[in-house]
Structure formats: C-alpha cells, structure tokens
Amino acid sequence: MTKIIGIILLLVILRLAVKNFSAQLKAAVFGPPNLPKAPPPPRAVATETLVPCAACGTYIVASRGFRKGDEVFCSEECRQRG
C-alpha cells in the first residue's frame, strides 16, 4: 500500500515539474505571456461655464461668446440684434 502512495506522490511531483518546465520553455521561446494592459490615466476634464445667449437663449461656452458689455452672445448676428 505504501508503494502505491509513494508512486502516486512521485507522479504528482513529476507532473508539477514538467508543467513548470514547459511554462519556462514556452516563455523562453515565445516571450513572456501577454499581461493585461493598465487602464489609461484619467483625462483632464474641462470646467468651462455654459451661459445662455442674451438674444436667442442658445447655451454657449462663456469664453467663446461674443461680448457686448456684460452680456454674452452666441454669434455676431445675435450681438447686433441684442
């Protein structure tokens, strides 16, 4: 009975050794396995303020609007109308 247990234990150890050797051989021949890519870094978020056009009510980015005093317009036409 102890011979059978010894043989099974020897086969398990031999299987682990062969599996480890084959993984090392594969890495040596084909290179390291493809690792999952790291997620991209978070993108910067723009924090511009949207304001309504004083003439038509269309929302625009405040820094890109056409100004006339304190009012902001979406286009030159709206600025002339307002």
Could you report the per-residue pLDDT of 47-76, keeping only the tens digit for each?
888 999 999 999 999 888 999 888 999 999
The pLDDT value given to residue 25: 78
| Type of residue numbered 14 | L
48: left (phi over 0), alpha (psi -120 to 50) or beta: beta
Could you report the per-residue pLDDT of 9-47, keeping only the tens digit for each?
999 998 888 888 888 878 778 877 777 888 888 888 878
Spatial separation of the C-alpha atoms in residues 61 and 67, rounded to whole Å: 12
Residues 6+ apart with CB under 8 A from 72: 51, 53, 54, 60, 62, 65, 66
- What angle (nearest 5°) sits at the alpha carbon of residue 52, between those of residues 74 and 71? 70
